[in-house]
Amino acid sequence: LNALIVAALSAVTIPLAGCGDAGAGITVGVSSGVAGTGPAATGGTTAGAAVWSTALQAWPKKGNSQIVASDSVVRSSFDQWLDARFPPVEPRDPQVVVLIEDLRVFNTPITDLAGDWGVPAGGAGIRPQAIRGIGKTFWADLRYALVQDDQTRAMDVIVAMANLPRIAHGFDGSVPRGLIATLATVDSFSWGLTDLLREDGAVKPTAEQCARLRAAASWLDSPEPFGPVGEDENRQRIMKRYVEETRPRLRRQLDELCG
């Protein structure tokens, strides 16, 4: 698991591009020229798209831990704390707490959406790495919420993490680049669920929280959420792990959390 996480986080700088909001009738292609049109990118609202767009535009300077951290020591301590091999604990370095609190302020407009979402409109000026990078920002927020025993915050964040693959696919529906990037956000969603289900601090969500989470993650119910696989060998190869491993695991995790 740790090797997977390191590989995915290392790939944050791989460019992504393209976006579209099927619910609002918006279709754009920022860099790849291919907006995702699979079921995962269908829906959302114009209001939700505006909030996500603002956050993603601001992420490089306000949500990227590598920039927001006060110095290299804090960056290193933060990355060591954000380790899926271990359960969330109170950071030893108080400056890491300051960093996490700053990231939480950045995340709050999205968590306040209570599950609303939308793929940003064209011309939004979003940097390609922001969509994958924001997954790490969310994950840190969720882990710290568990440290604070703040179930409400943790569930608000996991809902945002469940919606992130929708944004990623709508943003870039290309193959292989866009599809690989989208599946990286799917993996980050799984990391969050793993933390929520740890035996030493299992969360017991309310019916309303579970309903929001299942709605956000409803793309899991589609056999081809990120577009038809068809005879495309690249797409078949990339989707193989999702179909055989990732999707069954996510479904089990959701059932365990929200029975």
pTM across the whole model: 0.87
| pLDDT, one tens digit for every residue, the chain (259 residues) | 444 444 444 433 333 333 333 333 333 334 455 889 999 999 999 999 999 999 999 999 999 999 999 999 999 999 999 999 999 999 999 999 999 999 999 999 999 999 999 998 766 788 879 988 999 999 999 999 999 999 999 999 999 999 999 999 998 888 888 899 999 999 999 999 999 999 877 799 999 999 999 999 999 999 999 999 888 888 899 999 999 999 999 999 999 999 8
Query: Could you tell me which residues are beta bridge partners of residue 28?
Result: 19
State whether residue 20 is helix, strand or coil: strand
The encoded tokens of residue 118 equal 């939308």
Alpha-carbon distance values, 257 to 120, 221, 242, 253 (Å)? 30, 17, 20, 6
Query: Could you tell me which residues are beta bridge partners of residue 20?
Result: 27
How many Å apart are CA 200 and CA 13, to the nearest integer? 34
